[in-house]
């Protein structure tokens, strides 16, 4: 029996380690929680040949009443969805005398089985290694599993299975309802599509404020173009898998079920080749593909992409500013129809990137600003509260020393070559990390949170230490994660239920964390960059920005993340931590002035459209007067 128990234990541990399905993982966590808290005991039944396939159980209460059940009660996807298996169970209550002839045999049979007294069936206790693994899984949870999470994940599974049951070449169809409300395009969305047609000849960039509905705008455009162009192929390129999944969900609402070219190559490669062949031969009337940027550059995807007929190809680049990088030169297709989507298409320093973006996507054909979106009630109004954080004496000295080195290097170089120099970039990153991880930020946050109860749907942003680049180095990542851990511990001590949301979490983990966040199981997310672009986090109303790069793209998108409207939400709140040199460093006034001036770019952007614009000036008045910067706010 010991050898048998060890073998079974090894197989069960293998199943636990290979869990990737969200629904299965949530149920594993619920099982682990029940085992750890001794709410559930588990045994394993084995037969010499075949399996123990009966589903039988006894449920009792404190009054001595019991219910026996038996039958087919699987909880697999095919068992739960009405379109697949037919499942049923029989239920026998102990208090129904007329059913006692059914209840008592089931009760006795179950008790014999549990005591390992049944013929031809061996019953073992759950192997110790498996129990310990389940206890470890439950110990890592910072929330109690709940039916709300199960229902939310199950609904997503139903939607995906339903989508897979349809053909990937289904014709797009504009829905009558969206989100439980009658669907109607907003004026700015229709205006963007009209400008794309009339001004750009079906090419151009939509510069729409974050949260203004650029995804739905593009999908509506797909639907209308598919009505006019037979054999249309649409390819949507996005930077991250989370965003890709979000597109797939939104497309399904318009009867579009795309091929997903990400995650495992074996899941999409042959299908992609088939789609390319069918569209080239004219044997399919419509096809849609969603690809992440990393896959976009792969030789296999490029080979299939180049076979798609360019004259009937609609290319959509979400967060299209990524494609302005030299790294994407030669990878973007010669598509007749092109849409670039971004709330911040222009790079604030690199004109070469702007030219490359315009060369492929065309000009910005339509702008819809945050001011317009708030005034027209597309986005919610917000309140902005800056909090001053002084560098410590040691940090201030390091900041001045780094600034002096940077100044000397920039003086020796031509302006056009400044950001390309590796040593200069390394110094800029070190200075950015210093500002982003200033020691006084967490004490200041503690003061801000003092006396406040935890709020659900709150975001906390840490810095990533990067400077005007798409990627940081390993030191940046380690520094960022240290701040994430320190911030998470600070919030836990203050009574918050939080989860971190970074690139270090696996894709299934991030999906599960977002689900827990959406249903309110956890109060807050602590993020670095994963929530900067595109990911919808409904009902978020408060954000704490502990660190931000100087690139307006980042902080503009972070602001937009919490301004989306949702039921019951009337306003949003942003807390921003503004770093300055201490008064003791007045001898270094030129560096103090440059630091606060750099921070004020973000402060001015945030405060100008806020409901309490004057409060930002009052908070920073002393520093503005000291360095003659009052005109900036």
- Residues 304-317 have pLDDT tens digits of 999 999 999 999 99
**Best CA proximity match to 560, nearest among 500, 605, 626, 625:** 605
Q: Taking 70 as the threshold, does the pLDDT of residue 92 lie above it? A: yes
Q: Which CATH architecture has domain 382-632?
A: 3-Layer(aba) Sandwich (3.40)
Give dist(CA 1, CA 122) in Å, integer: 9
Assign 65 to helix, strand or coil.
coil
The Cα–Cα gap between 526 and 576 comes to: 15
pLDDT reading at 417 higher than 90:
no
Tell me how many degrees the CA angle 136-17-142 measures, rounded to the nearest 5: 35
Residue 168 pLDDT greater than 50, yes or no: no
Q: Could you give the 3-state DSSP secondary structure of residue 308?
A: coil
Residue 440 · residue 390 · CB < 8 Å:
yes
Q: Which token pair is 27?
A: 């149920």
3-class secondary structure, 48: coil
407: tokens are 């100044």
* Rg, Å, the chain Cα set: 29
Q: What's the CA gap between 226 and 349, in Å, rounded?
A: 38
The CATH code belonging to domain 172-375 is 3.40.50.300
3-state helix, strand, coil split of the chain in percent (to 5) is: 50, 15, 35
Q: What is the pLDDT of residues 316-327, one digit of tens each?
A: 999 999 999 888
Task: Write the pLDDT tens digit of every residue in 507-549.
Answer: 678 778 888 887 788 899 998 765 655 566 667 889 999 987 7
Residues 6+ apart with CB under 8 A from 292: 237, 238, 239, 240, 241, 244, 261, 262
Map residue 352 onto helix, strand or coil. helix
Q: Is 236 helix (H, G, I), strand (E, B) or coil?
A: strand
**Same fold yes or no, 172-375 and 382-632:** yes
Task: Please state, for a pLDDT cut of 90, what percent of the chain lies above it.
Answer: 42
Over residues 371-392, mean pLDDT: 95
Which residues sit opposite 623 in a β-bridge? none
Judged against a pLDDT cut of 70, whether residue 170 lies above it is answered with no
- Which residue, among 280, 401, 420, has the nearest Cα to 353 in the 3D structure? 420
The CA–CA distances, whole Å, from 104 to 117, 121, 360, 364 equal 17, 21, 76, 76
For 168-190, the DSSP string reads TTPPP---SEETTEE----HHHH
385-389, 478-482, 512-516, 554-558: range with highest mean pLDDT: 385-389
| Rounded-to-integer distance, Cα 571 and Cα 541, Å | 7
d(CA 547, CA 483): 10
At 466, is the pLDDT very low, low, confident or very high (cuts 50, 70, 90)? very low
- pLDDT of the residue at 632: 76
Q: Token match 């007294």: residue?
A: 117
pLDDT at 159: 62
Ordered by start, the domain boundaries in the chain are: 2-146, 172-375, 382-632
Q: Determine which of 94-103, 138-147, 275-284 has the lowest per-residue pLDDT on average.
A: 138-147
Per-residue buried b or exposed e for 547-572, using 16+ beta carbons within 10 Å of the residue's own CB: bbbbbbbbbbbbbbbbbbbeeebeeb
Distance (Å, whole) CA 404 – CA 406: 5
For residues 325 and 296, what is the distance between their CA atoms, to the nearest angstrom?
A: 14
Count of other CB atoms within 10 angstroms of residue 75: 11
Please give the span between the terminal C-alpha atoms of the chain, in angstroms, as a whole number. Answer: 77
Claim: this prediction has a pTM higher than 0.75 = no
* Average pLDDT estimate for 301-306: 95
Q: Among positive and negative, which fits the CA dihedral 244, 246, 249, 255? A: negative
CB within 8 Å of 393: residues ≥ 6 apart: 582, 584
Measured distance CA(562)–CA(382) in Å, rounded? 9
For the beta carbon of residue 623, count every other beta carbon within 10 angstroms. 21
The stretch 30-34 carries a mean pLDDT of: 90
DSSP state of 518: H
């Amino acid at each position: 029996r010991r050898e048998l128990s060890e073998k079974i234990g090894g197989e069960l541990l293998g199943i636990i380690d290979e869990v990737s399905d969200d629904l299965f993982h949530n149920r594993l966590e619920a099982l682990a929680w029940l085992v750890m808290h001794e709410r559930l005991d588990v045994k394993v039944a084995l037969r010499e040949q075949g399996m123990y396939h009966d589903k039988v159980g006894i449920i009792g209460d404190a009054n001595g009443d019991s219910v026996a059940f038996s039958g087919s009660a699987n909880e697999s996807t095919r068992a739960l969805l009405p379109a697949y298996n037919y499942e049923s169970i029989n239920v026998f209550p102990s208090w129904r005398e007329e059913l006692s002839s059914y209840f008592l045999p089931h009760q006795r049979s179950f008790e014999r089985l549990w005591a390992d007294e049944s013929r031809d069936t061996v019953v073992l206790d759950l192997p110790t290694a498996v129990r310990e693994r389940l206890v470890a899984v439950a110990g890592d949870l910072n929330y109690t599993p709940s039916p709300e999470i199960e229902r939310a994940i199950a609904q997503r599974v139903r939607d995906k299975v339903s989508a897979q049951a349809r053909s990937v070449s289904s014709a797009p169809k504009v829905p009558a309802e969206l989100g439980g409300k009658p669907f109607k395009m907003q004026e700015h969305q229709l205006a963007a599509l009209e400008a794309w047609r009339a001004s750009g000849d079906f090419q151009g960039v939509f510069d729409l404020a974050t949260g203004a509905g650029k995804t739905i705008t593009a999908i509506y455009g797909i639907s209308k173009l598919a009505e006019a162009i037979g054999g249309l192929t649409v390819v949507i390129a996005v930077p991250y898998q989370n965003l890709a999944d979000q597109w797939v969900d939104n497309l399904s609402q318009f009867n579009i079920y795309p091929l997903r070219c990400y995650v495992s190559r074996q899941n999409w490669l042959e299908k992609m080749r088939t789609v390319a062949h069918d569209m080239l031969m004219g044997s399919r009337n419509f096809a849609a593909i969603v690809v992440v940027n990393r896959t976009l550059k792969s030789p296999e995807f490029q080979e299939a992409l180049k076979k798609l007929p360019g004259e009937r190809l609609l290319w959509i680049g979400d967060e299209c500013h990524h494609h302005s990088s030299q790294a994407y030169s030669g990878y973007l297709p010669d598509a007749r129809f092109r849409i670039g989507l971004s709330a911040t298409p222009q790079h604030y320093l690199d004109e070469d990137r702007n030219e490359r973006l315009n060369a492929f996507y065309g000009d910005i054909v339509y702008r819809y600003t945050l001011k317009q979106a708030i005034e027209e009630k597309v986005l919610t109004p917000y309140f902005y509260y800056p909090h001053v954080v002084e560098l410590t004496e040691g940090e201030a000295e390091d900041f001045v020393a780094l600034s002096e080195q940077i100044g000397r290097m920039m003086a020796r170089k031509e302006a056009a070559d400044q950001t390309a120099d590796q040593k200069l970039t390394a110094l800029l990153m070190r200075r950015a990390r210093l500002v982003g991880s200033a020691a006084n930020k967490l004490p200041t946050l503690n003061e801000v949170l003092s006396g406040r109860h935890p709020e659900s749907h709150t975001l906390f942003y840490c810095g990533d230490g990067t400077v005007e680049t798409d990627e940081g180095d390993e030191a940046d990542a380690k520094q960022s994660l240290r701040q994430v851990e320190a911030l998470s511990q600070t919030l836990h001590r203050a009574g918050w239920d939080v989860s971190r949301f970074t690139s270090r979490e696996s894709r299934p983990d991030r999906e599960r964390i977002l689900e827990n966040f959406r249903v309110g199981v956890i109060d807050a997310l602590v993020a670095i960059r994963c929530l900067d672009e595109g990911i919808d986090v409904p009902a978020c109303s408060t954000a704490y920005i502990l660190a931000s790069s100087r690139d307006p793209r980042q902080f503009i998108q972070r602001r937009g993340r919490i301004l989306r409207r949702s039921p019951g939400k009337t306003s949003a709140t942003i807390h921003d931590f503004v770093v300055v040199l201490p008064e003791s460093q007045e001898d270094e006034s030129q560096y103090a002035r440059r630091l606060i001036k750099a921070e004020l770019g973000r402060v001015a952007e945030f405060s100008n459209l806020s409901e309490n614009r004057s409060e930002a000036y009052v908070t920073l008045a002393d520093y503005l007067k000291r360095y003659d910067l009052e005109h900036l706010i």
